Structure 1
Amino acid sequence: MDVQGTVAEGFEPVRDAFVRNFEQRGERGAAVAVYRDGRKVVDLWAGTKDVDGTDPWAVDTAQTVRSATKGVAAAVPLLLHQRGQLDLDAPVGTYWPEFKAAGKERALVRHLLSHRAGVPALDRPLSVEEAVDGRSGALAVAAQPPAWEPGTDHGYHAQTYSWLLGELVRRVTGRSLGRWIAEEIARPLGLDFWVGLPDDEAHRVGRLGPVEEPPAATGGGLKLRPKRSVAEAYRDPDSLTRRAFGAIDPLPDENAPLYRSAELAASNGISTARALARFYAATVGEVDGHRLFAPATLTVARTEESNGPDRVLVVGTRFGLGYMLHGPASPLLAPGSFGHPGRGGSLGFADPESGVALGYVTNGMRKGVTADPRAQALVRAVRSVL
């Protein structure tokens, strides 16, 4: 395997784990980056740019990172709160009056971030065109009756998170969430990260696609065995699981220009591994003179808001405000880590106690929602170094 990039002394086990992902776990093209105390210590890439192609992965290749987008998107309301522009304990209807409809009067801003708002699914799924038009999604979630009283339970808002956060940010700032990220996060930090891909960057983005599940050597993804698995729940067309992931129907072509150029905070962020790691490094410390989260904001981001059986993902999950927390469903580096995986593989997170931030992106999509074996192998390698 022709691995490109650099590894700081002592972090060689991460390179070894990265190589084994290609040799043993079906990796086609991927990149991983790690920061430690604001300094980049791992920056590796290998394989092909497209999952079904032959062109090599380049230094600037980016990929759609699916739900890993949620972690970057969550920083927007948290930073607005840090700047005094958004009250996390205010009703959503304070900023978005139409959202108070159908029994959602008591839904708070923090409920949107912690997957407690009660609207993970829509009674009528949106078409792809509606999902990306910047209007229909917000109208649909505002009118949707909640599946439970907001604040009383939690369930992963797999798709509706896009329109919940996107419209809240638009009402508070007058800017779209993708534009806010571009102007206030990506530009100052120098991140190759987009929610809403510009046309002039499209040539850098690889094609996603499924890869085979290796029959052995899956590499440590936790085997969770609830009474009903998420796969079983997804096969049930009437389940909240299927309805939540199917809030856009039919599922969009993630490689299509229409989808890539849209602004979906839940699912269509496009990033390099380097950008994900650098973003998370800036949430826990200073990176080249820039820091995103003040200490109080960092505490808020990773303080547990939701814990227990997830009404959508079926297994037990833990969430802070916008971030998955370390636990069986999403093992991260250590108990204090926070971040977000992307369905099928990608991962970004930070661990404040060790000063570590990691970003991993891949073009090979596997079936799991969290705890991808390839990402977990890289996490274990970092842990072994520390």
Structure 2
Amino acid sequence: MSPSALGELLAIFEENFRSRGELGASVSVWWRGEEILSHGQGWCEKERQRPWTTQTLVPVYSATKGPSAATLLLVLDERGMGPETPVREVWPGFPLAEASFAHLLSHQCGLAALDQKAQIWDHAEVIAAVEAQAPAWRPGQGHGYHPRTFGALVEEPVRRLTGRRLGEVWREKIAAPLGLEFWIGLPESEWPRVARLYPGKAAAEDMQGGFYREFNAPGSLVRRAFDSPRGLRSVQDMNDPAAWSAGLAAMGSVGTASALAKFYQAAIGAIESPLTENVRRALAQVRISGDDKVLIQPTAFSCGCQLDPLDAAGTKLRQLYGPSTRAFGHPGAGGSHALGDPDSGISFAYVMNQMELSVLPGRKSVAMVDALFGD
């Protein structure tokens, strides 16, 4: 790992505060089992009451999905099951008989939008809506990101197999053994450490892309996917301790950049961890790629994580996860970002409280990733 790359990354991190509206943020880089960079600065709120440090906690929205998927995969692996296991072996009421857990975890089951109204706070209500849903597409017919229903889709099998909530299993089997300050269901004792989130502002050019055109079209699949299940739509709602403690497995985790980067060290096998070889392989192996029916652009997914999509020649269409075609991770709404690269042994995470309006990682984090892998 080049010291100059780390220096350039830090320079970009600091430039984010000067020219890109950063308020409070942390960045962490691990390499071959050691944390080689941990930095945080700024403020936990606009009133500048609490300085931001590397120990500050913040909600990271969909960056939750990687840890949640790892939890389900580990529970399956402990029982001699895996990605190819039919979902109905665990969840008989699942609406697709042909679907495997690989299909479920890679957004191939067409359950991104629910017709039956359900509140995100009521797991039983959401599961009833999922079981009643006619899939918008089936395995073999493409894929589309499940921004919110993904939480119920991974939570229900964990509950059926363990009798416990996914966040509890995550804490016991993965987070606690690794010493991760990252919770899917934050205990009240940690509430004072949480920074306040602030929404991003839309620029005119943001609204011109295909995703935002569809997102703003009433009744569109994109709009319905981001409305299903209902609740927790505003950033203000995510500043409520009820959201932190609910343990929502698609978007409800709270943690530090260091913890998220260390999780991806475990996911790429750079440190000893509870994640078995089967789990790590499932997190890293591409299961589907191509045009995403919800994000309205090419995407690629493993069992629970994203990778950069490739063109017909095998060249990356973008480099959100660095130059390696094997690197994987997951962003979170507003700008949080995390990845692991098994080729270099590097993992990276960035978290912040001033959000951007971007469905994929924005300039603040991508510029740091480019610097990290630049040399």
- 1:88 Cα deviation (Å)? 1.9
- 1:247 Cα deviation (Å)? 0.9
User: Given the alignment, which residue of 77, 85, 93 partners 1:82?
Assistant: 77
Q: What's 1:313 paired with?
A: 295
Q: What's 1:233 paired with?
A: 214
Runs of 4+ in 1 over 3 A off after TM superposition: 7-10, 51-54, 211-216, 292-297, 327-330
Contact 2:177 2:274 in 1 (8 A): no
Q: 277-286 or 79-88: which moved more?
A: 79-88
- Output the CA distance in 2 between the equivalents of 1:214 and 1:116: 32
- Output the CA distance in 2 between the equivalents of 1:351 and 1:215: 35
Render the CA deviation track for 1:136-157: whole Å, top value 9, x for unaligned.
2222212211111244220000
Equivalent residue runs for 1:161-310 within 5 Å: 161-212=150-201, 229-250=210-231, 251=233, 253-287=237-271, 290-310=272-292
- The SS at the match of 2:93 is helix
Contact 2:299 2:308 in 1 (8 A): no
Render the CA deviation track for 1:218-238: whole Å, top value 9, x for unaligned.
xxxxx999xx61010100111
Structure 2, unmatched stretches of 5+, are 310-316
* C-alpha RMSD over aligned residues: 2.3
Q: What's 1:119 paired with?
A: 111
Contact 1:51 1:206 in 2 (8 A): no
Measured at CA, do residues 214 and 238 of structure 1 come closer, stay the same or move farther in structure 2, by a change above 3 Å? closer
1:188 aligned partner, one-letter code: P
Equivalent residue runs for 1:312-351 within 5 Å: 312-327=294-309, 328=317, 331-334=320-323, 335-351=325-341
- Output the CA distance in 1 between the equivalents of 2:13 and 2:41: 9
Whether 2:38 is the aligned partner of 1:39: answer: no
Give the TM-score of the pair, scaled to structure 1: 0.88
Whether 2:349 is the aligned partner of 1:359: answer: yes
User: Given the alignment, which residue of 86, 94, 103 partners 1:99?
Assistant: 94
Contact 1:82 1:297 in 2 (8 A): yes
Whether 2:11 is the aligned partner of 1:16: answer: yes
- Output the CA distance in 2 between the equivalents of 1:380 and 1:113: 28
Whether 2:21 is the aligned partner of 1:26: answer: yes
- Output the CA distance in 2 between the equivalents of 1:343 and 1:34: 21
- 1:276 Cα deviation (Å)? 0.3
- Output the CA distance in 2 between the equivalents of 1:354 and 1:367: 31
User: Given the alignment, which residue of 153, 157, 168 partners 2:146?
Assistant: 157
Structure 1, unmatched stretches of 5+, are 1-6, 217-222
- Output the CA distance in 1 between the equivalents of 2:218 and 2:126: 21
**Aligned sequence identity (%):** 37
> How many residue pairs align between the two structures?
363
